[in-house]
Structure 1
Amino acid sequence: MGRGRTAVRGTAIALCAAAALTVSACGGHSSGAAGPSDPPSAFGPGQVVGPAPALSQGESATRYRLPAVLDQGTAYLAGVDGVRVVDTASGRTMETIRAQHPLLTTEGSAANLTHPPLVTTAGDARAVVWPFLVKAPGGGNAVELTSIHTDTHTATNVLIGLPQWASSAEYNLSVTPIGAAGTTVVLDVAGGLHHAALTTDAGTGEPLWMRDDFTADAVTDGTVVGAQPDAAPANTEHVVGLALKDGTQRWTQLHGFGFGISSASPSLVAVEGTLPTATAGGTFQLLAAATGTSVATLPISNGLPSRCVYDQTSVTVCYAPTDNHAGARVVVAVDAKTGQQLWSMPNGTNGTEPVPLVTDAWHGLVYATTTEGLTMVYRARSGSPVRASAGPTPVLVNDQAGLALDPNGPNIVAQRPID
C-alpha cells in the first residue's frame, strides 16, 4: 500500500484484436512432502533458491514484498523473463516457465514485480497465473497470460489484447496482476499518466470488461476496488468498487488524495490517503468490499508506506511505517470479518520498546523481525509473544515452507519449518 497517484487523463479505449492460443511447457512434480499440522513457529537454516529482484533506490529490504507465492511445498518465483517453480524441500528448480512470444522491455517492465503471482482455482483445477508483457505476432503490444497448473507444472498461455493507448506505447508500460476468482483475472495496465483495469478469462483469453482512467488495486468479495480521478478541474480522486462479473459500479467512497488500496481479508479492503477535511495525518480505513461501508478507522498514519496481511483464518494485521528511517512503527491487529481492533503495538506495556516489523501472518501466528535481526512470532488474536529465534525472518509463510531474504546477499532463501 501507500502508493501515491497522479490524476490520469481521459482517453477513448478500444480492445486490440485478442488472439487465444494454447502452448504447453514440459513440467515435473513437487516433492509432495507433508508439512506440520500447526502453523510453524520456527524455521531451519535457509537455502538459496534464486536471486531476489533488485530493490528500487531508497527501498529497504525489510519491507520488501516478494513476487512469489507458496502452494504447499512449492514456491513460484516470478521474474521479468520467467516464473521458476521451486521445490522448497530441496531448493531445486523443477521448471522455469517462459513467455512464448518476444518479451517487451520498457522502463516499467519490472513494475509488476512488486506484486506476487495469482493463485486461483476453477473446479478441481488449481493454477498460478502470471502476465508477461510481450510483442504480439501481428505487431504492437500484448499480454501473454500464463497459467501454471499446480499438479503437473505444465503451463497454458493466452494472448490478451491491450487498450489502444497501450498497444503501441513503450513509455514506462507495465501490467500488474491484481486478483483472480476462478478463471477471471484482473490486471492493472499502466503507462505514463494512463491506467486501466483489464479483466479477462485466463482459460480462453476472452476479454470480459475494461475500465479506463481507473487504477485497479484489489479483488475482494466479488468486487474490484481501486481509485479513479475526479472530474477536472478537481485534483482529487475517489475510491470505487466495481462488480467483478461485469465491471458495473457498485459504490464510491472517500474523495481525497493519494489513496493506497489493498485487500485486507476475504471481505475487507484497506484504504489509506488524505481527505480534504483532514487536519493532519490522513486516514487509514477498512471498508467492506461489497458495499464500500467503512467498518473501522485504524490509528495508522498514511505518511509512510503501510500494508495489511491476512492470516488466512480470522485475523488481519496492518502495520506502518515499514521502514526505520522516519516515524514510529505501528502494528494494529483486527478481526478479519468485523474490523474490530484486537491489539496494537506500541501499547502501555511495550511503549518504550522498538516495535518489530511484521512480515507475514499464517493460521493464527504473526511473524516479525527486530532491528537486531531476530525473528519474533506472536499470537494473531492476542499479540502475545510465542517465540524468538535467530535467522532470516520469512516474508512469506505456509505450513510447509517460508521464504525469506538472504541477509548475506541479494537472494531468496527457502526455509523448512522445524517446530
Structure 2
Amino acid sequence: MMAVLALAGCGASGGAGSKDAGSEGETGAGPSATPSEEMRAVKAPKRFSTDEAIVLPESAGAGNVAIAGVQHPLPIALHKGVAYIARPDGLEIAGGYFRSDPVLITPEREPLSRLDDLGPLVGGNTARRPVVTEYGGKTLALAALVGRVPGSGTTKGHDALELMAADTSQGTKAWSVEIPLAEGHYSVEEGQSEVVGHSGRVVVVMGHGQLFGVDLDSRRKVWAAPGDFQEGAVLVGGTVVGLRTEKGGSDREVVGIDPATGEQRWLLPGVAAERLSAAGPKTVLVKGYVADTPDDGALLVDAVSGDRVRQFPEDTAADGTCAYDGLSTTVCTDADRVAAYDAATGEQRWALPDEAGTRAAPEVTLVREGLVYGTTAENGPVVVDATTGEDAETQPGIAPYVSDGYVGIAPAEEDNAVTAYRVRS
C-alpha cells in the first residue's frame, strides 16, 4: 500500500493509488510501503518537530502563499496525517506524516481553470478547503469545483458544479455529483465553489453564488436555495447560515436555511451584512451595517433561531476575522488586536495587546482545541491558551495554519513552501 495512505497503528488501511486518478477514480498499482514506526497523535499539540518536515505539492500553496504572506484558510484538510488539497482542477492527496507520491483525483468535466493557470500573486486560487466527514461507515474527503459542459448542435454549453468524494481509506474517487449552474451573479468570481458542510444525509455545496443540498444516499441534488449567495456560508447548530443578495439590490441579508430541505428558517432583519463566521456550536458572528443602533459593531447571532445574542462595540476585534476553537471560545483578530469571547454569550475573556503594554498580540494562524497559534514579530511562533490568553508554549517550532493532531501545516521559513511538520508530545 502507499505510504500516503498507510496509517499504521491507527486502525485504517491503505489503498493502491497512482499520481493521477482518472475521472472514475481508478488507479494503477502503486509502490508498496509500510511505515516501520507507529503514528503519534496529540489532541491539542503545542509543539511541532522541524526535523521531520515534508514539503507538500505545489497545489498546497498556489495562489495562496507568496513572499508577501499567506491568505488563509489554505485549501487543505487533514485526516490522520494525510493532506487533502483542493485545486481548481481536482483534489490532490499527499502524505504529511510519511513521504509518498501524491495522488490527483480529477473531475468529470473540463475545469474552468487549472492550477497551472494561477499567477504568482496571492488571491487567485478559487479552490476552498475540502470537508472530511464520516458517512455510511466510510470517511470521505469532499471537494467541489466548477467545470464546463460543452454544447451540442443548438444546445448551449453551461457551467456545472461537481462535488467529488474521495475514500480516505483507499485514496481513490468514490463518486461525484454534477449540478448544472445558472448564470452567476455579477459579483461572484468565476469558478467560485466550496463545500459548506455535512448534516445528516445532506452535504451543502455552493457554486457561482448558488446554494444546493446533495443527498449522500441517492447522490443527487435534492434542493436549490432561491437567490444568490456570497461565498462563506457556514453550517452551525443544524442550520445553514448564508449571506443572500437582496432582490433588486446589492445588500446582503443573513438567512438561516434548513440543510435537509433548503427551506428558509429565519431572516435577520435590519442588517446589511458584509461577512459572517462560525462563532460556536450554535452561534455565528455577523459584520455589516446594523440599522436602528448607535454603531455598526458585529452581532453574535443564534444560528438556530436567528435571534441576536449580543452586539459588540464598534471598532473592536470582533469586527475582524473570527474563528471558533471547537470548545467554548471565539477568537477574533483585527489589525494588530486579538480578543477572545465566550462562544455562547459573546462576553470578552481577554485581549492583546494588554493594557500595560507588556504583551504583544500575535498574528493568528489557527484556532483549534482550546489553543491559539500564531507569531509575534519579536519572538516568532507562540501558542496561547484560548480561554485565559496566557502563553501555553513559547517554543512550538512552527505556527500551523492547519493541524489534525498528527501534523501541522505551515510555510517553510526559507522558501515559503507549504510544509507538514509532525507533532511532538
Q: TM-score, normalised by structure 1?
A: 0.79
- Match 1:88 to one of 84, 90, 96: 96
- Match 1:393 to one of 383, 396, 399: 399
* Matching residue's letter, 1:384: E
Q: Distance in 1 between matches of 2:136 and 2:204?
A: 19
**CA distance 1:124–1:411, shift in 2 (3 Å):** same
- Match 2:326 to one of 307, 312, 322: 312
Q: Distance in 1 between matches of 2:418 and 2:65?
A: 17
- Per-residue CA shift, 1:89-123, capped at 9, x if unaligned? 2243442212233222399996532x311122213
Native 8 Å contact 1:300 1:330 kept in 2 = no
**Superposition deviation, residue 137 in structure 1:** 6.5
Q: Distance in 1 between matches of 2:229 and 2:302?
A: 19
In structure 2, what is the equivalent of residue 150 of structure 1?
168
Native 8 Å contact 1:374 1:390 kept in 2 = no
In structure 2, what is the equivalent of residue 324 of structure 1?
none
Q: Distance in 2 between matches of 1:118 and 1:132?
A: 13
**CA distance 1:34–1:334, shift in 2 (3 Å):** farther
Native 8 Å contact 1:236 1:255 kept in 2 = no
Comparing both chains, which one has the higher relative contact order based on Cα–Cα distances under 8 Å and sequence gaps of 6 or more?
1
2:49 corresponds to 1:44: yes
2:112 corresponds to 1:97: no
Correspondences of 1:1-16 after superposition (within 5 Å):
none
Aligned length: 380
In structure 2, what is the equivalent of residue 361 of structure 1?
367
- Per-residue CA shift, 1:353-372, capped at 9, x if unaligned? 43111111232222111124
Native 8 Å contact 2:145 2:191 kept in 1 = no
In structure 2, what is the equivalent of residue 260 of structure 1?
275
Q: Distance in 2 between matches of 1:275 and 1:337?
A: 21
**Superposition deviation, residue 50 in structure 1:** 2.2
For the aligned residue pairs, the C-alpha RMSD in angstroms reads: 3.3
Structure 2 unmatched ranges of 5 or more: 1-22, 152-156
Correspondences of 1:235-384 after superposition (within 5 Å):
236-277=251-292, 282-299=296-313, 301=315, 306-321=320-335, 329-349=336-356, 351=357, 353-372=359-378, 374-384=380-390
In structure 2, what is the equivalent of residue 198 of structure 1?
212
**CA distance 1:223–1:125, shift in 2 (3 Å):** same
**CA distance 1:133–1:277, shift in 2 (3 Å):** same
Q: Distance in 2 between matches of 1:166 and 1:25?
A: 33
2:225 corresponds to 1:211: yes
**CA distance 1:97–1:300, shift in 2 (3 Å):** farther
- Per-residue CA shift, 1:137-180, capped at 9, x if unaligned? 6643212211011222221232322233259xx98242222222
Native 8 Å contact 1:48 1:411 kept in 2 = yes
Identical-pair percentage: 25
**CA distance 1:150–1:173, shift in 2 (3 Å):** closer
**Superposition deviation, residue 184 in structure 1:** 1.8
Native 8 Å contact 1:272 1:302 kept in 2 = no
Q: Distance in 2 between matches of 1:402 and 1:30?
A: 22
Q: TM-score, normalised by structure 2?
A: 0.78
- Match 1:220 to one of 233, 236, 246: 236
**CA distance 1:122–1:317, shift in 2 (3 Å):** same
**Superposition deviation, residue 74 in structure 1:** 1.2
**Superposition deviation, residue 62 in structure 1:** 4.6
In structure 2, what is the equivalent of residue 23 of structure 1?
24
In structure 1, what is the equivalent of residue 202 of structure 2?
184
**CA distance 1:30–1:244, shift in 2 (3 Å):** farther
